[in-house]
A and B are shown apart, each in its own frame.
Chain A
Amino acid sequence: MKITVNLEKCTGCRACVKACPFDAISMVEKKAVIDLDKCTYCGSCVEACRFEAIAIEREPAAVSTENLESYRGVWVFAEQRSGHLARVAFELLGEGRRLAGDLGQPLCAAYIGPENGSVESLLKRGADRVYAVTDDSLLHFQDEPYAAILTYLVRTYRPAILLAGATYIGRSFIPRVAARLRTGLTADCTGLAIDPETKLLAQTRPTFGGNLMATIFCEKNRPQMATVRPRTFDEAPVGAGGGEAVRVPFSEIAAGNRVTLDRIIPGSEEIDLTDAEIIVSGGRGLGKPEGFALIKGLADALGGVVGASRAAVDAGWISYAHQVGQTGKTVKPKLYFACGISGAIQHLAGMGTSDVIVALNKDPEAPIFKVANYGLVGDLYEIIPALVKRLKQGGA
């Protein structure tokens, strides 16, 4: 990749210096100079320059796949755990339907797992076609057979786009599939769209700890692959179904496996943050572990579950299973209470798309108020008991 400044066109206006998110441009004798060790070729300067003085040249991707037009359709990997389809599969079908519509191409699902009602459920959620490889031995996730099967299906049926959940399973084997197909993979997308001009998949994701957003394209390779965190998109509705199932015998696919699953160790506690409709989260502002009793009290009064910021988890007040955010769970409840949470970008990354956000914080300048629909300024040790009381009282 090459970035060049045309010194004749450069007027020294500094627009590029201001636009560069990486602080890579400086002015030397009124001309822009780019520090290549800092430059990430993001193109912000090219866009900012009114004089077309900066140009980025990309070598054509040499790994390009031939005959790109022969790849058609939007596929989602329909993840199942212990025989149950994960909700993220339906969310991907919801988003996939929109993309397929914009492309004018079919929406398909790839299912790997035991034979149960999953194929029918996927058809009811609007898949035009479900490619299914079923076998009892595929009940539990295993990297190598799953990668072999998905690669086989892609090579045989050639989708233009392949989406998967950014779950433990997806993050473990989807990269392996992308590397085998020698194509690009964009992790944790929060926005997907079909570029109207090029018909390419515009993949938008947070980067740099959530401080920046980036839109990424995979121009010359197929499929265009992306993972999406659970609870980023809305589920596809249940409909009549009318699509077809394409069954591919497992025996047709050469799928070795060197890693064995010896034992499943249950987690210490079951809490389902990702599917909860109401979440009450506590942060460092609780000040002490006992604060979570108060949080639990409010959650119970609302019929919700308890979440936490990383600061509260790191302090040892509550287990990691409750953590919401970039390194915890992504949630999208109808109602999210943030109590004593400042609203760091990494926390917002996990709950920013909740339908209604209520923030309780004694600092009126706390960043959480920027995303809150209702911001209550005050001491949570006074507000929460009063709220619990008001909830119990009921009425209009």
Chain B
Amino acid sequence: MEKIIVFIKQVPDTMEVRIDPETNRIIREGVPSIINPYDRYAMEAALRLKESFGSRAVVACMGPPQAEAALREAMSLGFDQAILLSSRDFAGSDTLATSYTLAALVRKLAPVDVVVCGREAMDGSTGQVGPEMAEHLGWPFLGFVSKVEELKEGRLRVNRMMEDHYEEIEGPLPLVMTVVKEIAEPRLPSLRGLLQAKKAQIQVWGREELEMEPARTGSAGSPTWVKRVWTPEHHTQGMKLTGEPEELVDRLYKELKGQNLL
């Protein structure tokens, strides 16, 4: 295994996002951008492959210029190279255009053996970029990988998580995989790593550096478009009961019984 690429996304920390009760708008002021939490597992999986096989590990991200911070943080963990895909040409990309753009980077860095993605990004939560990229590359896809078993005769054997069971599957390199939380506990940066990351050079590439059809990138290459965005309202229609426990449960019991729920 010569080269591994892991894709990470910078997302707003949605845990910090709050709804303003007066205006019913989401409050984004001061909401920090973070590395998509699921991508920390993807980075850990990539670093472990690098350590097992002595491979070169590249971390890449598509996003606005400030996404550089995510890559710099990643560099503190021990990656060999960081690439930021950033250009107005990529603005408005949906998952089809994003996966096409990321696939173009994989081609540019050929030969690549394994592409690792997170299970999903916390902002959009589609989980589509990984499998769509596999299709653009024409590579096999191993989804929801919870454990990497072994590499034998050019085939990678893994466990994949399903609703109520796991499956042991294997496929030939090169391939794309997405990983779940169970894969491994993400490491923390070392002091040396933090110092190196400060000086690390982060390459910024746009459409010119990659070989791609312009019509398939950005909003032009995105079949879906967001027509409307709004804040959901959770309405109260229920009754709030207070009082002594016995009293409370008796009223609840009667209500539920009355609705034939018991």
Residues of A within 8 A of B (CB): 1, 18-19, 21-23, 36-37, 40-44, 47, 58-64, 81, 140, 143-144, 147, 167-169, 171-173, 175-176, 178-180, 182-188, 202, 206-221, 258-267, 270, 302, 321, 326, 334-335, 348, 352, 356-358, 364, 367, 369-379, 382-383, 386-387, 389-391, 396
Contacts and interface: CB of A to CB of B under 8 A. Distances in A.
Contacts of A184: 94, 96, 222-224
A172 B162 CA distance: 10
Contacts of B95: 175, 185
Contacts of A372: 238, 240
Contacts of B15: 209
A321 B182 CA distance: 13
B230 to A, nearest CB: 6
Given A173-B131, A186-B224, A220-B223, A262 B169 contact: yes
Given A207-B124, A218-B223, A175 B168 contact: no
B169 A261 contact: yes
B208 interface: no
B96 A391 contact: no
A247 to B, nearest CB: 27
Q: Majority SS of interface residues in chain B?
A: mixed
A335 B226 contact: no
Contacts of A61: 220-223
A390 B250 contact: yes
Contacts of B171: 258-260
Interface stretch (B107-115, B134-142, B184-192): B134-142
A-B pairs with the 4 shortest C-beta distances?
A209-B14, A184-B223, A62-B215, A184-B224
Q: Majority SS of interface residues in chain A?
A: mixed
Contacts of B221: 61-63
Given A183-B223, A376-B241, A22 B142 contact: no
B240 A375 contact: yes
A187 B128 contact: yes
Given A179-B136, A390-B246, 11 more contacts: A37-B66, A40-B92, A47-B228, A58-B225, A59-B219, A59-B220, A168-B163, A175-B127, A175-B128, A179-B135, A209-B125
A140 B227 CA distance: 38
Nearest to B97: A63
B199 interface: no
Given A63-B215, A211-B17, A216-B226, A261 B167 contact: yes
B226 A215 contact: yes
Contact of A212 (B26, B66, B215, B245): B26
B234 A168 contact: no
Interface stretch (B41-49, B50-58, B76-84, B254-262): B254-262
B29 A23 contact: yes
Contact of B229 (A60, A171, A182, A212): A212
A47 B226 CA distance: 13
B190 to A, nearest CB: 26
A192 B103 CA distance: 31
Contacts of A217: 224-225, 227
Contacts of A210: 14, 232
B251 to A, nearest CB: 8
Candidate in B125, B134, B142, B143 with the most chain A CB atoms within 10 angstroms: B125
Contact of B161 (A60, A81, A168, A376): A168
A233 B254 CA distance: 29
Contacts of B65: 37
